[in-house]
A and B are shown apart, each in its own frame.
Chain A
Amino acid sequence: MKSLVVANGGLGNGMSRKQLLPVLEKCGLVEALLMPPNKPYSFVRYKTTEESRNAYASLNGKEIVDDLGQKVILYLNFVERAQWKELGHQALPPGLTVVEEIISSEDEKMLLESINWTEDLDNQNFQKSLKHRRVKHFGYEFHYENNNVDKDKPLPEGLPDICDSFLEKWLAEGYIKCRPDQLTINQYEPGQGIPAHIDTHSAFEDEIISLSLGSEVVMDFKHPDGITVQVMLPRRSLLVMTGESRYLWTHGITPRKFDTVQASEDYKSGIITSDIGDLTLRKRGIRTSFTFRKVRHMPCTCNYSLVCNSQRKETPPSFPESDKEASQLEQEYVHQVYEEIAGHFSSTRHTPWPHIVAFLKALPDGSIVADIGCGNGKYLGINKEFYMIGCDRSKNLVDICRERQFQAFVCDALAVPVRSGSCDACISIAVIHHFATAERRVAALREIVRLLRPGGKALIYVWAMEQEHNNQKSKYLRENRISQEKKEEIKCDKSTQGLLEQKSDIGSQNSASSVLSIDYIQEKESSSKTVTNSELPIHTNRTSFHSQDVLVPWHLKTKTGKNKPVEPFGSVGSCDPSPVFHRYYHVFRDGELEATCQTLSNVIILQSYYDQGNWCIILQKAWVCYGATWS
């Protein structure tokens, strides 16, 4: 075997390629050194088995020094094969450009020296209150409490004079289209960052530009669908964000002291590759950014209304406090949405789930079965020996059932127009989690039980808050688009597997700050928490849930061709973004579904289990006779 795993020799525990490779090369010819990002291990492949044996003999248990100067003991072990399929070429977020070497080293030095950080007390207090990076504003004061500027109170001096020549030049050369009138200077020490955010639509016009001085950094761009793109911003480069990259994608800088960057091309901009044969760590230096923006005076009219504070309703949806509010929330964030997305939704719901099929197939022939919230009728045709009827709140989805020759009707799950005790069984898959209060969820369950004849069974599925169960990530999490094509193929003996599992995803490069994975929680500046506690958070698809009541985005794709890939440097506003809808969910905690069922007096819980990110339950309606119940 020519491949070895090198535990404690990973990017995730502060070991760079520069440190590790020479050590490994002493033992033989290294064909490849694969360093997966954020993992505390790497894989090395030697040309011959003898060389790998040599490496094992001399390096297993050996102490070396990592990039932080810390002593680390390497543990090696043989693996059958170590390969990592690479992600296809990722595109920059649409509307994003990085212009390299836009200023000279002399100009960089001059700009940095021109900043007077201790100019006045107000500024100093501001800086203290932010706890993180230092900031300075020109043109208009930026207010972190509401992430907006006070358009009626421009700052007296305007932009610093030295910026004029640069801005003129950039306009003339076509790097920027409009002349900004607001400047924010940010200075980041290693370990400092800025939480992921979208610059307030109503505050600034389309074009936002940022000049990086002093040090390069990796900036994270995240699409609401969960896709993350990491972009290297070299020193003396200008980042230009327009269109989708400015209005829809969030951008942020992880607070950490190292970035994972490409080993081969130094200081180049572009997307950080996922080729783990070419990654290393780079220590951050002090980075200063000059972010220029144009203050907006008219409301924003972008195409991304769901994230646009000019176009969104005055109050974003909040946790309902009455049955009426719940009903209104469901109307807007469940029913209307499913009507709009029905076709696309149906096309993504084609494979019946094995456990549900098994439940249905185990029912006696001649059963009358109701599917409450049948959607596109996925389960209505499973067993020809039943009479199955489906109902759904969405006319458009019921239409699809009809096209498939199923018996279906439109109704609300809280008021099912079926006579009591007429069904031998019911199923309700991924429905009850759309009800916005506990009372409504119980009421929906009660309806289902009402339909059952005594002894009849119901199968209920709801989305679980816990998307990871028994150390296994659900399909929903695993299908994160970053890792879709990246399949870890490690065949190794049990002890190594155990080692890897123990050490998996430590994710911290130093003790002070923790490195994000895709679960990086969006946090506003500590002094500017304007979000009220009851506001419903918007969930990022394919990540863990941080709240039980959430809005989950749905990106609508229409039948007229899939969403076309957008030119990274295309003109602003020329491409139609896919509309995004938010659906309300109450995701259930472990035990919650059971507890809800237990409040019903005439049911027995037959089985309770977890299936691919869902909590599931099989109930039976009790027989009742002279006040006694038995099953």
Chain B
Amino acid sequence: MKLLTHNLLSSHVRGVGPRGFPLRLQATEVRVNPVEFNPDFVARMIPKVEWAALLEAADTLHLAEVPRAPTEGYEHDEDFLRKMHHVLLEVEVLEGTLQCPESGRLFPISRGIPNMLLNDEETET
């Protein structure tokens, strides 16, 4: 699971709503997977990122050199874009958990795959 994916995930436990975001990340195994740098692509992702959630996750993983916010004219700031590229796309959580901040429900991440299945009592109807 990449951090950009984590940035999109939200808990769907019944009654939790928007308070289910962001999921608290805990990782026991992380890997860095090089991905071809595409500055235009990264630039396009920036406005869609929820920054607080990204920073929280990056901090949990003790990532260094994480920009705290988009810089002015970030679209042309290669240094910034490369750093964002790394954080969003190259860091993969292989094993760990995601926790609903409201209900405490834990979702496992195994072999890079979060299992977000709820049982019947937990789903919103």
Distance in angstroms between the alpha carbons of A387 and B113 in the assembled complex: 16
Across the interface, B10 reaches (CB within 8 A) one of A384, A410, A414, A417, namely A417
User: Which residues from chain A contact B72 at a C-beta distance below 8 Å?
Assistant: none
Distance in angstroms between the alpha carbons of A415 and B120 in the assembled complex: 11
Query: In the complex, how many angstroms separate the beta carbon of A499 from the nearest chain B beta carbon?
Result: 58
State whether the Cβ of B4 lies closer than 8 Å to any Cβ in chain A: yes
State whether the Cβ of A337 lies closer than 8 Å to any Cβ in chain B: no
Distance in angstroms between the alpha carbons of A409 and B116 in the assembled complex: 7
Q: Is the interface of B mostly helix, strand, loop or mixed?
A: mixed
Q: Assuming A365-B44, A410-B113, is B12 touching A415 (CB within 8 A)? A: yes
State whether the Cβ of B82 lies closer than 8 Å to any Cβ in chain A: no
User: Which residues from chain A contact B41 at a C-beta distance below 8 Å?
Assistant: 365-366, 385, 387
State whether the Cβ of A368 lies closer than 8 Å to any Cβ in chain B: yes
State whether the Cβ of A412 lies closer than 8 Å to any Cβ in chain B: yes
User: Which residues from chain A contact B18 at a C-beta distance below 8 Å?
Assistant: 419-420
B113/A402 in contact, CB under 8 A: yes
State whether the Cβ of A518 lies closer than 8 Å to any Cβ in chain B: no
State whether the Cβ of A549 lies closer than 8 Å to any Cβ in chain B: no
User: Which residues from chain B contact A418 at a C-beta distance below 8 Å?
Assistant: 8-10
B45/A387 in contact, CB under 8 A: yes
Across the interface, B115 reaches (CB within 8 A) one of A387, A389, A395, namely A395
Distance in angstroms between the alpha carbons of A289 and B123 in the assembled complex: 59
A389/B113 in contact, CB under 8 A: no
Across the interface, B113 reaches (CB within 8 A) one of A384, A398, A415, A417, namely A398
State whether the Cβ of B76 lies closer than 8 Å to any Cβ in chain A: no
Distance in angstroms between the alpha carbons of A365 and B40 in the assembled complex: 9
Distance in angstroms between the alpha carbons of A366 and B49 in the assembled complex: 12
0/1 interface trace, chain B 105-125, chain A, CB 8 Å (1 if under): 001000111111110100110
B120/A409 in contact, CB under 8 A: no
A419/B123 in contact, CB under 8 A: no
State whether the Cβ of A310 lies closer than 8 Å to any Cβ in chain B: no
Q: How many A residues are at the interface, by size bracket?
A: 20 to 34
User: Which residues from chain B contact A417 at a C-beta distance below 8 Å?
Assistant: 9-12, 20, 107, 116
State whether the Cβ of A207 lies closer than 8 Å to any Cβ in chain B: no
Across the interface, B8 reaches (CB within 8 A) one of A398, A399, A419, namely A419
Query: In the complex, how many angstroms separate the beta carbon of B104 from the nearest chain A beta carbon?
Result: 15
0/1 interface trace, chain A 405-432, chain B, CB 8 Å (1 if under): 0011111101111111011000000000
Distance in angstroms between the alpha carbons of A192 and B4 in the assembled complex: 68
A411/B117 in contact, CB under 8 A: yes
Across the interface, A366 reaches (CB within 8 A) one of B12, B44, B50, B116, namely B44
B112/A402 in contact, CB under 8 A: yes
0/1 interface trace, chain A 241-267, chain B, CB 8 Å (1 if under): 000000000000000000000000000
Residue ranges of B at the interface with A (Cβ–Cβ < 8 Å): 1-2, 4-5, 8-12, 18, 20-21, 38, 40-41, 43-45, 48, 50, 107, 111-118, 120, 123-124
Task: Name 15 A/B residue pairs within 8 A (Cβ), A-sorted.
Answer: A327-B120, A366-B44, A387-B41, A395-B115, A409-B9, A410-B114, A412-B117, A415-B124, A416-B12, A417-B9, A417-B10, A417-B107, A418-B8, A419-B9, A419-B50
Residue ranges of A at the interface with B (Cβ–Cβ < 8 Å): 327, 365-366, 368, 384-385, 387, 389, 391, 393, 395, 398-399, 402, 407-412, 414-420, 422-423
Which 4 pairs between the two chains have the least Cβ-Cβ distance?
A: A366-B44, A411-B116, A419-B10, A409-B114
Given contact pairs A366-B44, A399-B113, A411-B12, enumerate 5 new A-B contacts (beta carbons under 8 Å): A368-B45, A398-B113, A409-B115, A410-B117, A419-B21
